[in-house]
């Protein structure tokens, strides 16, 4: 029987940030040597004042922007040691990104939008229809984005972020454009789908109601992430499931 040790895959975090620093000019220090670890399957919410650097942090993790110093490891692999091609490949395979403004391509059908990550990863395209059904949009494959409501569009964006079963999902204010009831429905679905895929999720939000869906709430302040708490009204709003359930 093989001996399990610390090299077992489950011991490798989905995401690790080590000493991540980013400044815009000499006076605008956004991240100040930030350290952070996200376990596999864990769902964290990141809150913080406007302009504090939440989107910058997600962009650095996603490789859409470069840190001044520090390391980002996705699934144990340091992204800053990779050349551009290798970093792009890693992002395609291991990352799903949900944006506030959906970023659904207007001239592609819903099925084509959701199939994009499959196409880029040489995976069977049939999973796109399954994923659309999983987010409650069965039979809408041939519709165009303009035929959808905001909540439906965000569900398409979630389907696209999850369809290739990424290890890590980054979501930047995914319910920022939705009314509270729709936001609740979208987050319920988002969390359930992320869990069934065993994906780790980092969600930036200004909404305590949205943050209540997370296993852990963090606040970005002074260039570091701190443990945060929700007000009493929201701290019991959502059932707290085990991150590894
Ligand atoms: N390309 C850039 N050049 C210069 N400054 C920038 C650039 N991108 C972001 N900043 C600055 O970095 C800081 C952090 O911006 P960021 O977008 O990460 O904030 P945020 O926490 O996501 O805010 P919000 O909650 O409003 O979305 C801001 O002061 C912003 O002006
Ligand atoms: Mg932002």
116 in a structural domain: yes
pTM (2 decimals)?
0.87
56-100: pLDDT as tens digits: 999 999 888 889 999 999 999 888 778 888 888 888 899 999 887
Q: CATH code at 125?
A: 3.40.50.300
Within a domain: 122: yes
Q: Which atom of ligand 1 is nearest to the CA of 53?
A: 18
Domain count, the chain: 1
Instruction: Report, as an integer, the average pLDDT of 170-177.
Output: 90
Residue 235 lies in a domain: no
Residue 211 within a domain: yes
How much is the pLDDT for 38? 96
Query: What distance in Å separates the CA atoms of residue 178 and residue 143, rounded to the nearest whole number?
Result: 21
Contact 57, 24 (CB under 8 A): no
Question: Is residue 13 a part of any domain in this protein?
Answer: no
| Residue range(s) defining the domain that contains residue 223 | 40-68+84-229
Say if 78 falls within a structural domain.
no
Q: Is residue 207 part of a domain?
A: yes
Q: 241 or 121: whose pLDDT is higher?
A: 121
Which pLDDT band holds residue 236 (cuts at 50, 70, 90)?
A: low
Q: Predicted confidence band at 181 (pLDDT cuts at 50, 70, 90)?
A: confident
Nearest to 29 by CA among 235, 221, 227, 241: 221
Question: Is there a domain that residue 62 lies in?
Answer: yes
State the pLDDT at residue 241. 44
CA of 50 to the centre of ligand 1 (A): 8
Which residues sit with Cβ closer than 5 angstroms to ligand 2, an ion? 55
């Amino acid at each position: 029987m093989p001996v399990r040790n610390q090299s077992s895959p489950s011991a490798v975090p989905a995401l690790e940030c080590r000493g991540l620093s980013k400044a815009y000019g000499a006076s605008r220090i956004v991240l100040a040597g930030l350290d952070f670890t996200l376990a596999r399957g864990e769902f964290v919410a990141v809150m913080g004042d406007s302009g504090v650097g939440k989107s910058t942090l997600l962009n650095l993790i996603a490789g859409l922007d470069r840190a001044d110093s520090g390391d980002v490891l996705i699934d144990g692999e340091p992204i800053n040691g990779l050349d551009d091609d290798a970093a792009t490949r890693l992002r395609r395979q291991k990352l799903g990104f949900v944006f506030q403004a959906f970023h659904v391509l207007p001239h592609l059908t819903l099925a084509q939008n959701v199939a994009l990550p499959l196409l880029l990863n040489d995976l069977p395209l049939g999973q796109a229809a399954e994923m659309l059904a999983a987010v409650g949009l069965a039979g809408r494959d041939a519709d165009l984005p303009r035929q959808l409501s905001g909540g439906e569009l965000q569900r398409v964006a979630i389907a696209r972020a999850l369809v290739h079963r990424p290890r890590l999902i980054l979501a930047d204010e995914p319910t920022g454009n939705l009314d509270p009831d729709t936001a609740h429905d979208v987050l319920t679905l988002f969390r359930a789908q992320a869990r069934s895929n065993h994906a780790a999720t980092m969600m930036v939000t200004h909404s305590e109601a949205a943050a209540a869906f997370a296993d852990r709430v963090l606040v970005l302040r002074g260039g570091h992430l701190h443990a945060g708490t929700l007000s009493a009204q929201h701290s019991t709003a959502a059932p707290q499931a085990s991150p590894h359930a």
